[in-house]
Amino acid sequence: MLYFLIEKLISGIIIIISILLAVAFVTLLERKIMGFMQRRRGPNVTGIHGLLQPIADGVKLILKETILPFKANTFLFFFSPVLTFWLSLMGWIVIPFQYDVIYCALNLSVLYIFAISSMAVYGIICAGWSSNSKYPLLGALRSAAQMISYEVSFSLIIMLVLLFNDNLNFIKISQNQYLWYFLPLIFGSILFFISILAETNRPPFDLPEAEAELVSGYNVEYSALTFALFFLGEYASIILMSSYTVLLFFGGVTTSILWFCLKILFVIFCFVWVRAAYPRLRYDQLMGMGWKVILPLVLGYLLFLHCLFCFFSF
**pLDDT for 44:** 82
What pLDDT score does 313 carry? 67
CB atoms within 10 A of CB 30: 19
* pLDDT for 10: 80
Handedness of CA 87, 224, 227, 74 (dihedral sign): positive
Rounded Cα distance between 288 and 165, Å, is 32
Work out the number of other CB atoms within 10 angstroms of the CB of residue 121: 21
Between helix 186-199 and helix 295-313 the angle, nearest 10°, is 150
Distance CA 90, CA 239 (A): 13
pLDDT in tens, the chain (314 residues): 677 777 778 877 888 888 888 888 888 888 889 888 888 888 888 888 888 888 888 888 888 888 888 888 888 888 988 888 888 888 888 888 877 777 777 788 888 888 888 888 888 888 888 888 888 888 888 888 888 888 888 888 888 888 888 788 888 888 888 888 888 888 888 989 988 888 888 888 877 666 666 666 778 888 888 888 888 888 888 999 999 899 888 887 877 788 888 999 999 999 999 988 888 888 888 888 888 888 899 898 888 888 888 877 65
pLDDT on residue 213: 62
Write down the pTM of the prediction: 0.90
Q: What is the DSSP string of 25-86?
A: HHHHHHHHHHHHHTTS--S-SSSGGGTTHHHHHHHHHHHSPP-PPTT--HHHHHHHHHHHHH
